Amino acid sequence: MCHMTACSLLSYIAIAWMKMVPMQTIRSRVQFFKISALSLVFCVSVVFGNISLRFLPVSFNQAVGATTPFFTAVFAYLMTLEREAWLTCLTLVPVVAGVIIASGGEPSFNLFGFIMCISATAARALKTVLQGILLSSEGEKLNSMNLLLYMAPMAVVFLRPATLIMEENVVGITLALARDDIKIIWYLLFNSALAYFVNLTNFLVTKHTSALTLQVLGNAKGAVAVVVSILIFRNPVSVTGMLGYTLTVFGVILYSEAKKRSK
């Protein structure tokens, strides 16, 4: 909710005050519904993803998240009839297979956490396809900054109930932490501002490449997060799990090469 509040404020400052891009208006109820749906799907992906982290280690969470390109390809076909080249689709097989292998060899596997993680991954893929439609469809096209301007406040509204239900007295806890160490306020402010630039570049990449490419690029971050999380949290990883992680990363590399050839 802090992230989306920062995105709302910074988007308004950039568009209304700094005039970085012309302000666009929502032209129809259908367009408003699509932006609302995008915000809701985004919130579902965030909430479910955070829930899964209570039951699964970060390394396994990131490995499951690497299947996002698979879900993105499915949703892109169902919603826009956009087909990837057969070679590109073939490279998604090791991405998914790697996660299946990693699941079987994960010492800290939790079924509920896994379901939440898969649901968050599917929601993240659906969000990417929806934002691609809003950024490129004729008649309803919004630029990246305006889409974030309208999406972020809606996300704040959707996240408010989740915050109150799942994190009771969160404001009091934050103030108590701030009394012990004021730096946490600066951490929150910096983290929230950074989220604005993450979301903005996310939209820009989607606009200039494709929804599927964005998700595969994100897997490079996921591979690094797997290694770093194992080093920091020292969670146990089996040989089978590492084999699955490696296969998933290998699939991401193959996908990148397939996209180059298809172009």
Q: Which helix (H) or strand (E) holds 142?
A: none
Which of the four pLDDT bands, split at 50, 70 and 90, describes residue 211?
A: low
pLDDT at 115 over 90: yes
Question: Rounded distance, CA 164 to CA 34, Å?
Answer: 26
Amino acid 74: pLDDT: 86
How far apart, in Å, are the Cα atoms of 105 and each of 110, 217, 243? 12, 25, 9
Report the alpha-carbon distance of residue 124 to residue 215 in Å, rounded: 9
Q: Domain coordinates of the chain in residue numbers? A: 2-17+27-262
Per 3-state DSSP, the chain is made up of helix, strand and coil in percentages (nearest 5) of 80, 0, 20
Confidence tier at 9 by pLDDT (50, 70, 90): very high
Whether 64 and 115 have beta carbons less than 8 Å apart is answered as: no
pLDDT at residue 93 in the model: 85
> For residue 218, what pLDDT is reported?
65
Helices assigned H by DSSP within the chain: 2-12, 29-52, 58-65, 68-80, 86-104, 111-136, 144-166, 170-180, 183-208, 211-233, 239-262
Is residue 262 a contact partner of residue 85, using CB atoms and an 8 Å limit? Answer: yes
For residue 66, give the DSSP letter: T
Q: Which pair of structure tokens corresponds to residue 48?
A: 């479910």
Q: Could you give the count of Cα atoms lying within 13 Å of 191 in the half-sphere of its Cβ?
A: 9
Phi and psi torsions of 55, nearest 5°: -115, -15
237 φ/ψ sector (left φ>0, alpha ψ -120 to 50, else beta) = beta
Residue 39: is its pLDDT beyond 90?
A: yes
**Average confidence (pLDDT) over 101-109:** 74
Q: How far apart are CA 38 and CA 43, in angstroms?
A: 9
Residue 15 CA to residue 33 CA, distance in Å, equals 22
pLDDT at residue number 140: 67
**CA torsion angle for 155, 160, 166, 171 (degrees, to 10)?**
120
Residue 156: what pLDDT?
Answer: 93
pLDDT given at position 70: 81
